[in-house]
Structure 1
Amino acid sequence: MTLHPVPISSTPSQTISVLLVDDNPSFRHGLQALLDFYSGNGPSRYQVVGQATSVEQAVKLTIEQSPTLVLLDMELGQSSGLTFLQTRPKGNERVLVLSAHREDEWVFRAMQAGASGYLFKTHLAERLWPAITTVLKDQIYLSPEVATGFFRLFQFYNGGALTTATIPLTEREQEVLHWLVQGASNNAIAQRLHITVATVKAHLTAIFEKLEVSSRTQAIVKALKLGLVAA
């Protein structure tokens, strides 16, 4: 398993309290191991203050421990992580969903219920750390493939784009942005447009500058919000 590289620091600046909510003990053990790795190799220390296997336990521990971060599975035996999102006492905790479900509807319902991010379990090793650091900054974490599906449903339920805007994108930049929103990789975009990967990267850099964003996910979110492309 390849772990996401973390900047090494010998003096952690803060302690992040974490609640693990998953009914699989092996998965919780794996999460604990990843958090221990981040604590030993990054600027923050992650302290697991509780582990829950049900919605009832999760709510109880959230009240008792006031965790900074909740790592939440969407399937908890006979119950659902969605129930926790809907019934939890609203505090300052950030909830990052870790799920095996890739269906757009699952992502949409979780985010609408108050999750700060949604991460596929299959991407845990390489994406958990950036997901955690993103939601702890009070920002939304969605991988490109998740963002596209989520905002497709958002537009459907809300009658289209949030607003419209004029951004001076070239025709080629619009084409690159279209495929980016569809979740295509740089290689896939290059093949579809018959250009090099280096050219794709150059267009993405220009798109990011014009949209005033710094990542693929942010570009997708902003493009869909502004109605620059259709999901």
Structure 2
Amino acid sequence: MTTPQPISILLVDDDQRFRKGLQTLLDFYNNNGAFRFEIVGEAASVEQALKLAVEQHPALILLDLEIPPSDGITALLRLGELSYKGKALILSAHREDEWVFRAMQAGAHGYVFKDRIASQLCEAIATVMNHEIYLAPEVATHFFRLFHFYAGRSLQACESIHLTEREREVLHWLVQGASNEQIAEHLYITVATVKAHLTAIFEKLKVTSRTQAIVKALKLGLVCA
């Protein structure tokens, strides 16, 4: 009988103590036969995570969403741009609806609240590695509550913000996670023009970053997720 290959795992969290705790929990799973794994790297930043993902090709990334100065949403989007073939499972203290929704939209294969890791991580890993999405009941509630909220929004907010048609198009692609270059390609305009539209959008939404613009646009129902 052929012994199955261990699951290669990359740990991404800026808290070294949390990564150490994850290792201990994974060791427990390994020792009791839940599954076999090999930790191929640890990262405390998005850039480190992307570098290790390219070099080590882990089958699974255990990813925190708050990784200063960037965030896990950015990591997920950039992994998509790099055509990463593995799975990404979010382990986060963020319980806000927006974080859960954005993480899943950005390409996460599952989401586990950090205070539920001890009871849910084993099942979450097994589910994700079986090519399925893992959302515990409490997480699914957050996700679908916001999904239905966005789906039912009216256009009143869009009219009150006074976005131009082109700004709405740029905002649409921004919410989809497109880079400036990709937005330019989709809309057949220059990157400089995209940047000019984003500047105008940020001013009208009263935000200072792409992530803030995305969250506010979704909250106001300016675009469909």
Say yes or no: TM over 0.5: yes
User: Measured at CA, do residues 12 and 45 of structure 1 come closer, stay the same or move farther in structure 2, by a change above 3 Å?
Assistant: farther
Determine which of 105, 125, 129 is the counterpart of 1:136: 129
1:105 to 2:98 alignment: yes
Question: What are the equivalent positions in structure 2 for 1:54-203 lying under 5 Å apart?
Answer: 54-88=45-79, 89-159=82-152
What SS class does the counterpart of residue 57 from structure 1 fall into?
A: helix
Deviations along 1:80-115, one digit per CA (max 9) or x if unpaired, are 011100111222211000000101110000000000
**1 or 2, which has the higher helix percentage?**
2
Query: How far apart, in 2, do the equivalents of 1:50 and 1:12 lie?
Result: 23
1:28 maps to 2:33: no
Measured in 2, the distance between the counterparts of 1:12 and 1:124 equals 27
Q: Deviations over 1:10-53 (max 9, x none)?
A: x9633000000000000000111111111111253110000001
- How far did 1:58 drift? 0.4
Summarize deviations over 1:145-167 as a string: whole Å, max 9, x none.
1101201222233459xxxxxxx
Q: Distance in 2 between matches of 1:18 and 1:130?
A: 15
Q: Counterpart of 2:104 in structure 1: which amino acid?
A: M
Q: Name segments (4+ residues, structure 1) moved above 2 Å.
A: 11-14, 155-160
Q: CA–CA distance in 2 between the matches of 1:145 and 1:74? A: 18
Verify the 8 A CA contact 1:117 1:140 in the aligned structure 2.
yes
One-letter amino acid matched to 1:55? V
- Cα distance between partner residues in 1 of 2:138 and 2:150: 19
2:10 is matched with which residue: 16, 19, 22? 19
- Structure 1 unpaired stretches of 5+: 1-10, 161-231
- What is the number of equivalent residue pairs in this alignment? 150
Task: Select the residue among 41, 45, 53 that pairs with 2:36.
Answer: 45
What's the TM-score once normalised by structure 2's chain length?
0.64
Q: Does the 8 Å CA contact 1:108/1:150 hold for their aligned counterparts?
A: yes
Unaligned stretches of 5+ residues in structure 2: 154-225
